Amino acid sequence: MARRRRRKKKMEFSKKIFVSVSIAASLVTIFTGIMIWRTNDLSPLMYLIPAVFTELATATGFYYSKAKAENKIKIKKGLENPEEGGVSDG
């Protein structure tokens, strides 16, 4: 009996970017909170947090626009080939 190995799908590059930016935003937010608590100085809030969350918003927007474009292609293919599990008109 031959065993079939299931291949792990490689994580898409855009998803890697999104995950890494999300992790970086979380780490910077935690670090900033700790340093504000230790130093009682709120000045890092003016620069660090908005910069990190701007990057996160950009990565999120890019990821969702890419997914939208890919889904449009998948839907179009499904409408053209309804016998292959796509959506039919009837």
Residue 90 has pLDDT above 50, yes or no: no
> Which domain does 70 fall in, by range?
13-78
Query: Tokens 């179009």 belong to which residue?
Result: 76
Domain count for the chain: 1
Residue 54: what pLDDT? 92
Q: Does the residue 8 lie in any domain?
A: no
The angle at the Cα of 56, spanning 28 to 16, to the nearest 5 degrees, equals 95
Closest CA to 36 of 57, 56, 28: 28
Q: Does the residue 67 lie in any domain?
A: yes
- pTM for the structure as a whole: 0.65
Per-residue pLDDT tens over the stretch 48-84: 888 889 989 998 999 889 889 988 988 888 877 766 5
Q: Does the residue 57 lie in any domain?
A: yes
Residue 3 CA to its chain's centroid (Å): 34
Residue 42: what pLDDT? 85
Per-residue pLDDT tens over the stretch 26-55: 998 898 889 889 999 888 788 888 888 998
Q: Does the residue 90 lie in any domain?
A: no
